[in-house]
Chain A
Amino acid sequence: NAGVMQNPRHLVRRRGQEARLRCSPVKGHSHVYWYRQLPEEGLKFMVYLQKENIIDESGMPKERFSAEFPKEGPSILRIQQVVRGDSAAYFCASSPPGQGADYTFGSGTRLTVV
């Protein structure tokens, strides 16, 4: 039973390009969460999605960032027109319905903006 799969593991983008981060949740998990981690800091909540719905995006920057979790396929975190400050590790987690604390985290995507 595979865990949360994130790809790519490392992503380098030039300023102004778009970054697309993918997350496949644990099989059977219908809840997906995205977190961002800056060096030597804890994870910061960005967005919580269920299939085809954004439930809570209170941690998402208002501009350039978007997330989706389509009926078929992985969840996508999209960052448009990246800037140096977007460089961070982005972690996806998933959980089954009805169990709020039973998160499984992926290994993350490390985004570097040059």
Chain B
Amino acid sequence: GQQLNQSPQSMFIQEGEDVSMNCTSSSIFNTWLWYKQDPGEGPVLLIALYKAGELTSNGRLTAQFGITRKDSFLNISASIPSDVGIYFCAGQGSSGSARQLTFGSGTQLTVLP
């Protein structure tokens, strides 16, 4: 089946630092999505990317859809304590059901004061 390789698996950063995480795939996706999951909750959509090469921002978050359609990265600038959580990338529309999401294994972010 399809797999997304997400890295790093975990990060410990100081408040105010910038963060970068990425996902790669052996398959092409038509849409890349980035989610944040807090403990005991479901994933919440942060950014959706629909075109190869697209660069999209949402406040302090910036994400890009790789030109090959096989990768994406998420940057968080000037991190704050509430950024703590697990960040997941997800791809959609490569094969099978066009609505099915394939998730990465997550990046656990810890922000130290």
Cβ of A41 and Cβ of B106 under 8 Å apart? yes
Q: What is the CA–CA distance of A33 and B40 in the complex, to the nearest angstrom?
A: 19
Kindly supply a per-residue 1/0 record for chain B positions 31-53, scoring 1 wherever the CB is within 8 Å of any chain A CB and 0 otherwise.
10100000011111100101000
A44 interface contact, C-beta 8 A: yes
CB contacts (< 8 Å) of B58 on chain A: these are: none
Cβ of A105 and Cβ of B102 under 8 Å apart? no
The residue that A45 contacts in the complex, of B88, B93, B102, with Cβ under 8 A, is: B102
Cβ of A42 and Cβ of B103 under 8 Å apart? yes
A69 interface contact, C-beta 8 A: no
Which residues of B pack against A, CB within 8 Å?
4, 6, 31, 33, 40-45, 48, 50, 88, 90, 92-93, 96-106
Interface size class of A (residues with CB under 8 A): 20 to 34
Question: Once A and B bind, how many residue pairs between them come within 8 Å at the CB atom?
Answer: 67
The residue that A42 contacts in the complex, of B44, B93, B100, B105, with Cβ under 8 A, is: B105
The residue that A48 contacts in the complex, of B41, B42, B100, B106, with Cβ under 8 A, is: B100
Cβ of A48 and Cβ of B50 under 8 Å apart? no
Cβ of A107 and Cβ of B33 under 8 Å apart? no
If the complex has contacts A43-B43, A56-B96, A108-B41, are A103 and B101 also in contact, measured as CB distance less than 8 A? yes
CB contacts (< 8 Å) of A56 on chain B: these are: 96-97, 99-100
